[in-house]
Amino acid sequence: MDLNRAQELINRIRDNVARVMVGKQNSIDPILIALISRGHVLLEDIPGIGKTTLVSSLARSLGLSFRRIQFTPDVMPSDVTGFNLYNQKTALFEFHPGAIMSQLLLADEINRTSPKTQSSLLEAMQENQVTVDGVTYPLPRPFMVLATQNPIEQVGTYPLPEAQLDRFMLKVSLGYPTLEEEMAIYQRFSGRSPLNDLQAVVDVVELFTLQETAENIYCAEAIRRYVALLAFSTRENKDLLLGASPRGALMLLMAARAHALLQNRTYILPADVQSMLVPVMGHRLLLSAEARLQKLAISDILFNLQRQVPVPER
């Protein structure tokens, strides 16, 4: 696929989602980047910001199947993956698929369910399959998990373990709208929801082609070394107890490729890596005890490391 065609498809998706979402371009693009890179997204924000609406509008714009599961402490792994039920008429066990058997899965308030249920997502997010009673079932393609959690309310929650956080390519925050944007939201949703009239503007075949195009974005050896140096710098920083894993560095490279495609380029620039550094790496790092006492922010540490690591010249 040539760049002009790719840009046309990307703009179609952006414009269609923007018919529902007001002023969320900075949140739409990272999710598009994850989708094009075959990654998953952690949406961290307070309730009522529009997370479900954003995911629903994206699914409709692409003609993808969409399921939402509200996580609570009593949700079981079988609610997510599915279960076998004995059929007395046929004398056979029949598989009843869970919410995960969809192309876009919104895992709402994922940190409110037990670690056992959280872990039921691990195999699916990494392998694109689930195993129930020893039988493996492939997931639909494409498959993407968008999980939400509330950063403010921590009572009765189960923080995601590092192994699960590392499965998410990006962490995104929608943020509050501006005054003008909020007034536009009142106007847009005063009657019939625009989501009801949203039609698909890109099909699955075109999405697969976009994904293949992103994979073929040129990455120079100097850029790969730049990503590796950034990853190594997180592991050697005294303020970080846990640095970036090789998987995190690889996802940074994949996200940079998709970012370059969204910028209508066939090659990666250092600016692509820098733009995706905090969204990709921020949730993978752990502050040291001393850094927590000093109330340091991981984003600030990453910006400092970015300034220290030499930027490759073109």
Q: What is the pTM of this model?
A: 0.90
Q: Please, which residues have CB within 8 angstroms of residue 271's CB and are 6 or more apart in sequence?
A: none
Residues 6+ apart with CB under 8 A from 229: 309, 310
Chain centre distance of CA 84? 30
pLDDT of residue 173: 87
Cβ contact 95:135 at 8 Å: yes
pLDDT in tens, the chain (314 residues): 788 899 999 999 999 998 888 877 788 899 999 999 999 999 988 888 888 888 899 999 999 999 999 998 899 988 998 888 888 888 888 888 888 999 999 999 998 888 888 888 877 888 888 888 888 999 999 999 999 988 777 677 888 888 888 899 999 988 888 898 889 888 888 877 888 888 999 999 999 999 999 999 999 999 999 999 999 999 999 999 988 999 999 999 999 999 999 999 999 999 999 999 999 999 999 999 998 999 999 999 999 999 999 998 76
Domain ranges of the chain: 3-203, 217-308
**Which fold would CATH assign to domain 3-203?**
Rossmann fold (3.40.50)
How much is the pLDDT for 279? Answer: 95
Considering the segment(s) 217-308 as one domain, its CATH architecture is Orthogonal Bundle (1.10)
